[in-house]
Amino acid sequence: MRIVIAPDSFKGCLNATKVALAMQKGARRVFPEAQIDLIPMADGGEGTVEAVLNAVKGRKIEVKAKDPIGRQISAFYGLIENDKTAIIEMAAASGLPLLRAEERNPRITSTQGTGELIRDALDRGVKKILLGIGGSATNDGGAGLAAALGVKLLNSQGEELPPGGAALANLQDIDVSELDSRLAEVQCEVACDVQNPLCGPEGASAVYGPQKGAKPEDIRILDAALLNFGEKLSKLSGTNLLELPGGGAAGGLGAGLVGFLGAKLRPGSQMILDVAKAEEKIKHADLVLSGEGMTDFQTAYGKVPVGVAALAVKYKVPVVVISGAVEGQPDLLGDYGVNCCFSVSEGPGTLEEAFSKGEVQIERTVWRILTVWKLGAESAFRKENY
């Protein structure tokens, strides 16, 4: 029996490594001799640097940077490939958990801090930047990041815009003449956690604005502001950023990185699967286990379980998803190669109780699923003998 275990973190409960270890414990109870490969995953959002540093040799760098509302904080990124490549997750400087609930306001939050992390990596002479995006507190299309790297975003009076997504409604001109020239020599690859477009009903503001504190009126303002921004930057860069899958990831940062830096976007889980050389492992597996904190309507936009399933489906390997909670119609994930989804939650209780029992519940759920799997395999074997 060969099993690949490739879950995302359960946000608020356990990081991806702990989830993977709990799944392994459950699997070993049923198949003590199984060959098990652990691939703690991430999707571009929080945990991306850790997932990459788990898979390849590298080191973590601590850096001072601005948080989404301009406070100086201690952030981090990773260096791999003999310090020639930086692995940065935007959530480290511009992530939602950096703000208290009452501080969340995507009209004014900025990606400036992520630009500062990039600058630090350039100062260290990297030749390639892998940038994970998602888990953001921002909706500024990467305007703050661009400004930190020398771009000037100007209103009709030629004045620089204040930070935040709402100000982009007044964007008139983009001056890239002072963009950090070192970027021309650096390849920038972006791992997006979702495939949403920049604007519209499936866009950054409408789908992910509410979790960042946007009210319906804010969503209207932010969506219109990103449309103005997207049109101006599309013209400047010669790329239609409004049609770009992933352009709406991390509050439109996906579109901004393509427009300002000529970056290449790809699904985040794919980047981690590549770095971890997962294809070789999944190809020979009998079963793949994945999971995430909450499997819901956002999962199909490109979250870890569907990224893992896209690879497994190539080799007809079954995928079972085990998540903290499952909402909506998880059966629809069948279209993405997920065979079935399970929630680890047991009966009513608070989220805090569920978090405190996370490891045990994951182990127990995997044990149950694999017990049924084994019974099925044994009964098939018996039938063969009749």
Which of ligand ADP, ligand 2PG, none does residue 358 bind (CB under 5 to 8 Å by kind)? ligand ADP
The nearest distance, CB 355 to ligand 2PG, in angstroms, is 18
Going 170 to 172 to 175 to 179, the CA torsion angle's sign is positive
Residue type for 351, please? L
d(CA 179, CA 186): 13
Cβ(161)–Cβ(143) below 8 Å: yes
Choosing from 19, 171, 249, 354, the residue that interacts with ligand 2PG (CB under 6 A) is 249
Decide if residue 224 touches ligand ADP (CB under 6 A): no
Which of ligand ADP, ligand 2PG, none does residue 37 bind (CB under 5 to 8 Å by kind)? none
Q: Would you state the structure tokens that stand for residue 8, as one six-digit string?
A: 């995302």
Q: Would you state the structure tokens that stand for residue 206, as one six-digit string?
A: 């409408």
Per-residue x/- mask for ligand 2PG, residues 197 to 226, rule CB under 6 A?
A: -------x---x--x---------------
Nearest residue to 6 (alpha-carbon basis) of 323, 308, 338, 330: 308
Decide if residue 234 touches ligand ADP (CB under 6 A): no
Footprint of ligand 2PG on residues 103-142 (CB under 6 A)?
134-136
d(CA 284, CA 306): 19
Nearer to ligand ADP, 25 or 128 (CB): 25
Footprint of ligand 2PG on residues 42-71 (CB under 6 A)?
45
The residue to which tokens 């999962």 are assigned:
299
Cβ(125)–Cβ(155) below 8 Å: no
Decide if residue 355 touches ligand ADP (CB under 6 A): yes
d(CA 276, CA 48): 12
Decide if residue 256 touches ligand ADP (CB under 6 A): no
Choosing from 132, 142, 324, 330, the residue that interacts with ligand ADP (CB under 6 A) is 324
Going 277 to 279 to 280 to 286, the CA torsion angle's sign is positive
Contact positions vs ligand 2PG (CB under 6 A): 45, 134-136, 193-194, 204, 208, 211, 249-251
